[in-house]
């Protein structure tokens, strides 16, 4: 029995935050394969591997084997294991992962940018906390000077 792997539970942050991905999932769950396909294609064309795979799943469910092959092949070229599995299960040829290096480089850049932003956010939070502590210390000193501490 052939199993087509549809990635719903394994949400990648970028996909899950993408409204087209969310709408595609809602449509596929309602049985609207064509509508789901259209939504997944919107985020797949932005380079989202999860959407590429799911566009292939929606296409095959809608009866369009050629479009399924197109999206799974593109995702497989970027190194998507699910797309590769879907190609195998559907008896389609497996391409080389010739685009995986560029995908890995883009992921590394995105991760580095995310980490830099986290550091900036942490520094801002620390600065705000220090500012609040400084204000509390000033209030305590004033309270002691006036002898009005509770």
33: domain CATH number is 1.25.40
* Overall domain count for the chain: 2
Distance between CA atoms of 33 and 13, rounded to whole angstroms? 23
Q: How far is CA 56 from the centre of its chain?
A: 17
Mean pLDDT by groups of 10 residues along the chain of 150 residues: 50 63 95 96 93 96 96 93 93 88 72 83 85 84 76
| Residue ranges making up the domain that contains 21 | 13-89
Structure tokens at 114: 């995310």
Distance between CA atoms of 94 and 47, rounded to whole angstroms? 19
CB 76 within 8 A of CB 87: yes
Are 78 and 128 part of one and the same domain?
no
Distance between CA atoms of 89 and 36, rounded to whole angstroms? 21
Is residue 21 in some structural domain?
Answer: yes
- pTM score, whole prediction: 0.61
Is residue 94 in some structural domain?
Answer: no
């Amino acid at each position: 029995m052939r199993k087509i792997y549809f990635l719903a539970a394994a949400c990648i942050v970028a996909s899950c935050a993408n409204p087209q991905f969310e709408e595609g999932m809602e449509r596929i769950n309602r049985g609207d394969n064509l509508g789901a396909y259209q939504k997944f294609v919107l985020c797949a064309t932005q380079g989202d591997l999860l959407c590429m795979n799911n566009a292939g799943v929606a296409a095959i469910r809608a009866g369009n084997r050629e479009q399924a092959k197109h999206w799974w092949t593109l995702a497989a070229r970027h190194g998507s294991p699910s797309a590769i599995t879907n190609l195998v299960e559907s008896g389609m040829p497996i391409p080389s992962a010739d685009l995986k290096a560029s995908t890995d480089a883009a992921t590394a850049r995105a991760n580095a940018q995310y980490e830099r932003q986290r550091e900036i956010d942490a520094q801002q939070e620390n600065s705000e906390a220090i500012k609040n502590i400084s204000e509390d210390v000033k209030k305590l000193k004033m309270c002691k000077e006036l002898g009005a501490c509770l």
